[in-house]
Amino acid sequence: MNPLEREIRALIETQGPLPVSRYMALCLAHPEYGYYVTRDPFGAGGDFTTAPEISQMFGELVGVWCAEVWRLMGAPSRVALVEAGPGRGTLMKDALRAAKVLPGFLDAIELHLIETSPLLQERQREALHGAVPSIAWHGEVSTLPDDAPLVAIGNEFVDALPIDQFEKKAGRWHERKIGLGVDGFALGLDTARIPDFERHLPDRLTPAPEGAIFERRALGPVAGILSRIEKNGGAALFVDYGHTESGFGDTLQAVRGHDYAEPLETPGEADLTAQVDFEVLAALANETVHAFGPVTQREFLGQLGIGARADILRQNAKDELRAEITISLERLTGPAPGMGELFKAFAFAHKDLPTLPGFDGAKHSGDS
Ligand code: SAH
């Protein structure tokens, strides 16, 4: 039994079964044993590979997106460039290098990184050394500046925000909680029924069938970014895996060594995520902050010109690297096992901004 498992066991013994969100938060961010606190999980030798770790093209295109959004904002002389969950800092490093194409953008940037893990903060410091004059780290969104327009990005950030799960049994909704089973942790239903649960579901999903599972995510960090855009202008881009419309199902997933693992086993030693419900994200939009997308990662990167970028890189590359660029392009934009369709891009933007780059022809919701 690992130390985190022992600690969670003791918690359950004294407090009773834990909400899924509590378990997820402990596994990912426990100050001593949390997954992101104890390791750098990215890349071939780690547990999983994210888009910016596949190819420099991803961060470069996101960097150009940021610079272009800043230009559409009227090129303000001061802008907070925010990244939520920067991992190794690879995306931001590539983004800042590419953003040089727009003179003035780098000079206007104040870089703010939202990262809970001290170990990853250190990685980010190394990766971004010298890229911009100053970087500020934040453990949470609440300490971000509240007096500057903002361009924010987050790749595979929302999927790591904890979810709760609810299940319909014998016609009633109950919370799913993590308790102690015969050997190890076990998911069970809280005895308390939740009245009127289906009131919060989209009409087309009700009445829900017996056995339906619904996931709800604590979106506080996203809402915090949105409220800053509402007040000071700007836009935010989130790229993640998930579904365009709300639906039923258990999507809690553990990944370890590039393979699926059991979410309730060896807590803190596997990455825990759940699919992003983009319909719920879009519902956060309001009269002042509009939502764009989601569009598939293939569509988004395609509109930003990943094809042309790959061509240029291939022209300048040696033979053996040329094939690698083609493979990376396919991993980023191709159908499964590629990321092109499962992963989606979604954005919020202040109503004063026109259609954002990458979202041409995409669904646009807000008060327009
Ligand atoms: N964007 C990176 C890393 C994605 S992994 C990439 O694409 O490679 C998720 C990242 O979010 C990690 O850096 C993790 O430490 C961070 N993270 C997860 N939950 C967080 C939270 N609640 N607040 C701040 N950072 C968080």
Residues 119-150 have pLDDT tens digits of 999 999 999 999 998 899 999 999 999 999 99
Pocket test for ligand 1, best of 50, 116, 237, 240 (most atoms within 8 A of CB): 116
Does any domain span residue 276? no
For residue 58 and ligand 1, the question of a CB distance below 6 A is answered with no
Q: Do 84 and 209 belong to one domain?
A: no
Q: Is 246 exposed, middle or buried (0-12, 13-18, 19+ CB in 10 A)?
A: middle
For residue 241 and ligand 1, the question of a CB distance below 6 A is answered with no
Q: Do 202 and 231 belong to one domain?
A: no
pLDDT at 201 over 80: yes
Integer CA distances (angstroms), 353 to 145, 226, 234, 254, in order: 21, 14, 8, 38
Which atom of ligand 1 approaches the CA of 85 most closely?
Answer: 11
pLDDT at 103 over 90: no
- Residue nearest (by alpha carbon) to ligand 1 atom 24: 115
The SS3 call for residue 118 is helix
For residue 271 and ligand 1, the question of a CB distance below 6 A is answered with no
Does any domain span residue 257? yes
Average pLDDT in the 104-131 region? Answer: 96
Does any domain span residue 235? yes
- Structural domain including 239 reads 37-161+220-243+285-304+341-351
- In angstroms, the CA 53 to CA 51 distance is 5
Does any domain span residue 330? no
Please, which pLDDT band fits residue 368 given cuts at 50, 70 and 90? very low
**b/e map of 16-54 (b: 16 or more CB within 10 Å)?**
ebbbbbbbbbbbbbbeebbbbbebbbbbeebbbebbbbb
- In angstroms, the CA 8 to CA 28 distance is 13
Please, which pLDDT band fits residue 319 given cuts at 50, 70 and 90? confident
For residue 54 and ligand 1, the question of a CB distance below 6 A is answered with no
Which atom of ligand 1 approaches the CA of 42 most closely?
Answer: 8
CA 185 to chain centre: 27
CB contact at 8 A, 100 and 63: no
Q: Do 116 and 91 belong to one domain?
A: yes
- Residue nearest (by alpha carbon) to ligand 1 atom 21: 116
Q: What is the pLDDT of residue 45?
A: 85
Ligand 1 centre distance from Cα of residue 84 (Å): 7
Average pLDDT in the 193-212 region? Answer: 96
CATH number for position 235: 3.40.50.150
Q: What are phi and psi of 273, to 5 degrees?
A: -140, 170
Q: What is the pLDDT of residue 15?
A: 96
**Cβ contacts of 345 within 8 Å, gap of 6 or more:** 237, 238, 239, 293, 294, 295, 296, 297, 299, 300, 358, 359
Ligand 1 centre distance from Cα of residue 205 (Å): 31
Pocket test for ligand 1, best of 115, 124, 238, 343 (most atoms within 8 A of CB): 115
Which atom of ligand 1 approaches the CA of 159 most closely?
Answer: 9
* Mean pLDDT score across all residues of the chain: 96
For residue 303 and ligand 1, the question of a CB distance below 6 A is answered with no
CA 358 to chain centre: 18
Does any domain span residue 335? no
- What is the tally of structural domains in the chain? 2
Q: Do 127 and 177 belong to one domain?
A: no
Pocket test for ligand 1, best of 157, 163, 222 (most atoms within 8 A of CB): 157
Q: What is the pLDDT of residue 341?
A: 97
- In angstroms, the CA 252 to CA 307 distance is 33
Ligand 1 centre distance from Cα of residue 23 (Å): 17
Q: What is the pLDDT of residue 349?
A: 98
For residue 47 and ligand 1, the question of a CB distance below 6 A is answered with no
Q: What is the pLDDT of residue 156?
A: 98
Does any domain span residue 357? no
- Give the residue carrying structure tokens 């890229």: 131
CA contacts within 13 A on the Cβ side of 326: 8
Q: Do 54 and 171 belong to one domain?
A: no
Helix, strand, coil percentages, rounded to 5, for the chain: 35, 25, 35
Average pLDDT in the 323-344 region? Answer: 96
Q: CA angle, 306 as apex, 302 and 311 as ends, to 5°?
A: 130
Which atom of ligand 1 approaches the CA of 51 most closely?
Answer: 7
Largest CA distance in the chain: 64
**Cβ contacts of 59 within 8 Å, gap of 6 or more:** 52, 90, 91, 92, 93, 94, 95, 98
pLDDT cut 70: percent of the chain above it: 99
For residue 87 and ligand 1, the question of a CB distance below 6 A is answered with yes
Q: Do 264 and 297 belong to one domain?
A: no
Q: Do 70 and 103 belong to one domain?
A: yes
Please, which pLDDT band fits residue 366 given cuts at 50, 70 and 90? confident
For β-strands 276-277 and 234-243, DSSP reports them as: parallel
Does any domain span residue 25? no
Which atom of ligand 1 approaches the CA of 114 most closely?
Answer: 24
For residue 63 and ligand 1, the question of a CB distance below 6 A is answered with no
For residue 157 and ligand 1, the question of a CB distance below 6 A is answered with yes
Ligand 1 centre distance from Cα of residue 168 (Å): 31
What is the model's pTM? 0.97
For residue 115 and ligand 1, the question of a CB distance below 6 A is answered with yes
Q: Do 67 and 122 belong to one domain?
A: yes
Q: Do 99 and 187 belong to one domain?
A: no
Q: Do 10 and 62 belong to one domain?
A: no
Q: What is the pLDDT of residue 367?
A: 52
Ligand 1 centre distance from Cα of residue 161 (Å): 9
Q: Do 91 and 115 belong to one domain?
A: yes
What does the pLDDT look like over 229-246, one tens digit per residue? 999 999 999 999 999 999
Report CA dihedral (355, 360, 366, 368) to the nearest 10 degrees: 70
Q: Do 146 and 173 belong to one domain?
A: no
- Residue nearest (by alpha carbon) to ligand 1 atom 3: 87
Does any domain span residue 336? no
